[in-house]
Amino acid sequence: MQVEIKAVSRAGQLETFSSEHADIVTAVLQAEERGFRVLDARERRAGRFMPGSARGSFPLLPFSRELLSLLEAGLSLTESLDALVEKEPRAAVRGVLTRLVHDLREGRSLSQALERQPDAFPALYVATIRASEQTGDLPEALGRFVSYQAQADLLKRTVVSASIYPLLLIGVGTLVALFLLVYLVPRFSTIYGDMGKDLPWASRLLLGWGSFIDGRQGLVAAGAAGAALLAWFGLSSTAMRGMLVRPLWRIGPVRDRVQVYFLGRFYRTVGMLLRSGIPALTALEMARGMLPSVLADGVDLARAQVRDGEPLSAALADNGLTTPIAARMLRVGERTGQMAEMFERTGRIYEDEVTRWLDWFIKLLEPLLMVFIGAIIGTVVLLMYMPIFELAGTIQ
């Protein structure tokens, strides 16, 4: 296997070199033995490079569940990881697990081993494991993370499944409208070319569009494809998503619902971190990434206020990171010393509210979309056939 490695040498220089090895893990380990700090490793296949890391593809939740089951069955941590390596058929995932075992046998702690592979294990996961190492309750920490991630995935699936049918309606309706406007209307404009003065103004406008488009369909198709690609890359950009969110944030009802969705994720994350023994300020900083930029700035201000001695519930309320119910629950948590539980309960309340609102909104949106798309397509068809109706009336 030909492996290309990008690494920093002992002299601090960035170097890229290729080597022949049985697998990516062996190549990385050999490079580290030579004094390199490996940044990335890629496998060359069929003339292109395939990522050797598990970026965005490591099955973190199944891994945590399986590791938890093996630990609860009485296996040691190294034995559990060895078992996971043996049963794993995917080379990239097996490589990640092999490196974990290698690091553990070199004397590193599990959190240190996880931290060396940030593409597979996010900082939130590493912090949870590191806190559990101080208390010796690794299975309990894994259980908390599994519960947290399963609930987060359930909410994400709810949002995605609720969006599929409306997006399908919009996509099909757009394709039908483009077919009519780009393919059929130009042909009707050619047929009705000599009747221009006798047509209703709306039909003349539509057929004028057809005359303009006639012969330019390829250019229109290229423009539509380019717009779709730009939209795709734009939505993939964090900065672009932030630019799109800010105008929506000025619409009160939309802002309230979107804020509840993000706060639900934020509160559940903070609650899980607090249960793991992570200090409140650190938990807030780590959970900050769960929020869009318009809310994340409030976390920084809230942390500064807490450092100055203000209660956490008041600091979050001052910076728009609570609702009246959440603020009351957090105040109760401060009095009783159950902040972690109150954060998690508040997160569940927010998530339940988002689920109910989505169910109501989709039930209302679907018929409205069907009526809107039907009206557009029906109007185009009616305007195309209006001259035929006029001709039929003249003959009668």
SS (H, E, C) 321-385: CCCHHHHHHHHHHHHHCCHHHHHHHHHHHHHHHHHHHHHHHHHHHHHHHHHHHHHHHHHHHHHHH
**pLDDT more than 70, % of the chain:** 80
Distance CA 132, CA 146 (A): 14
Task: Encode pLDDT of 232-265 as tens digits.
Answer: 776 666 666 666 666 766 777 777 888 888 888 8
Is 20 strand, coil or helix? strand
Task: Encode pLDDT of 220-229 as tens digits.
Answer: 778 878 887 8
Task: Encode pLDDT of 51-88 as tens digits.
Answer: 333 344 788 888 988 988 988 888 888 899 999 988 88
Question: Mean per-residue pLDDT for 207-212?
Answer: 74
The number of beta carbons lying within 10 Å of the beta carbon of residue 337 is 8
Question: What is the reported pLDDT for 163?
Answer: 79
CA distance between the termini of the chain: 81
The pairing of strands 48-51 and 14-20 is unpaired
Mean pLDDT taken over the chain: 79
Contact 262, 292 (CB under 8 A): yes
The CA R_g of the chain, rounded to the nearest whole Å, is 29
For CA atoms 258, 264, 265, 270, give the dihedral sign.
Answer: positive
**Domain locations along the chain:** 2-51, 136-396
Q: Does domain 136-396 have CATH number 1.20.81.30?
A: yes
Question: What is the reported pLDDT for 332?
Answer: 92
